[in-house]
Structure 1
Amino acid sequence: MSADELVAIYDPDDDDGRVVGSAPRSQVRARNLPHAATAVLLTDAHGRIYVHQRTDTKDVYPGTWDAWAGGVVRAGEDPNEAAARELTEELGVHDISLEPLFTAWFRDDRIHELAVAFVARWEGPERHGPIVHQPEEVARGEWLTLTAVRDLMADPGRPMIPDGRAALERYLTERAARGTAEGGR
């Protein structure tokens, strides 16, 4: 996405995601405007999660690790379509079902976004295409077990992007709660 491409601006007081305008990406970043961003957690049949390191040229939190493929929602774009587009652009994955997880606001001094999170299960290159990194956005990636993902989150030598960390913590907490509830039946 270019610095001048239009990004949808969202009402920060609306948890459901009401679009109130648009602005060039450069202004969204410079002024930390409230926007939506998609996040897709890619899993496989072994229960692993695909994590990747962002390139050093990313406009926000370069070089950090992330467990989510995604990006900003363009002006006029539906978040579901944006999620599928971003997953294909960043990791080369296509024709995959996206299961909605949650929508939640995240804000720090560099990001003010309504995260629209999904999970998708990759069933191999024959079905969804091989994992192919977009060179401008992804430096490297790997499949990690849940234990290895937790180890990554605790490793100060491999920092995670803050919004991705917050979303991952929420996902892991909700997953553990579901497992406890399902195990107690």
Structure 2
Amino acid sequence: MADDEVVALYGESGQVVGSAPRSVVRARNLRHAASSVMVRDPTGRIYLHRRTTTKDVYPGLLDFAAGGVVLAGEDPAVGAVREVEEELGVAGVPLEPFGTAHYADEHTDYLAVRFVTTWGGPIRWQPEEVSWGVWVTVEELVRRLDEEPESLVPDSVAVWSSTIRSWAHG
């Protein structure tokens, strides 16, 4: 991803309020939107991948959602399709909308536009973003949430953990 991409800025109400270059959004921690796509296989496992150590936010941590910033003028659903294809090679399958959630910390402040998809094909990593990955059961992911939370990307944990836990219990 180029640092000069123009990112849509979002207000408190979840509406687009402007735009700024990605580098400015990161430097000033401006509120934006990002897609967050959970990829499951036909048996219900979730794809868990390690972010490269060169990522600008949460380098080297494990993530169970693909995604990225919503660009200026871009529909979040279109951005989600683009991101999951770029990062994991998942293409040509419908993304099920799964609501939104707000996340903010010292690194990022964004509206997560969540989606779930089922994928039975091969995973193809984008080498600049993903260093490796593996399919895990929902129960294994819950175990990691409970026992190894520091190894996981905190924003994905925040916006998805209650959903993952509900899948484990029902």
How many angstroms apart in 1 are the aligned matches of 2:10 and 2:167? 28
Which residue identity does 2:129 align to in structure 1? E
Give the structure-1-normalised TM-score. Answer: 0.87
Asked if 1:145 is matched to 2:113, the reply is no
How many angstroms apart in 2 are the aligned matches of 1:139 and 1:118? 23
Give the 3 Å change call, closer, same or farther, for CA 163–63 of structure 1 in structure 2. Answer: same
Cα deviation digits, residues 84-133 of structure 1 (max 9, x gap): 000000001100111111201111111100000000011x22xxxx2100
For the residue of structure 1 that corresponds to 2:92, the secondary structure is coil
Alignment equivalent of 1:134, drawn from 77, 101, 126: 126
Asked if 1:62 is matched to 2:62, the reply is no
**Retained in 2: the 8 A contact 1:50–1:142?**
yes
Higher alpha-carbon Rg: 1
Alignment equivalent of 2:101, drawn from 101, 104, 108: 104
**Retained in 2: the 8 A contact 1:152–1:158?**
no
Task: Give 1:173 shift.
Answer: 4.2
Q: Show the counterpart of 1:2.
A: 2
Quick check: 40-49 or 144-153, which moved more? Answer: 144-153
How many angstroms apart in 2 are the aligned matches of 1:46 and 1:39? 21
Q: Show the counterpart of 1:43.
A: 40
Aligned residues: 170
Q: Show the counterpart of 1:74.
A: 71
Asked if 1:83 is matched to 2:80, the reply is yes
Task: Give 1:170 shift.
Answer: 2.6
Question: Where in structure 2 are there 5+ consecutive unaligned residues?
Answer: none
Give the structure-2-normalised TM-score. Answer: 0.94
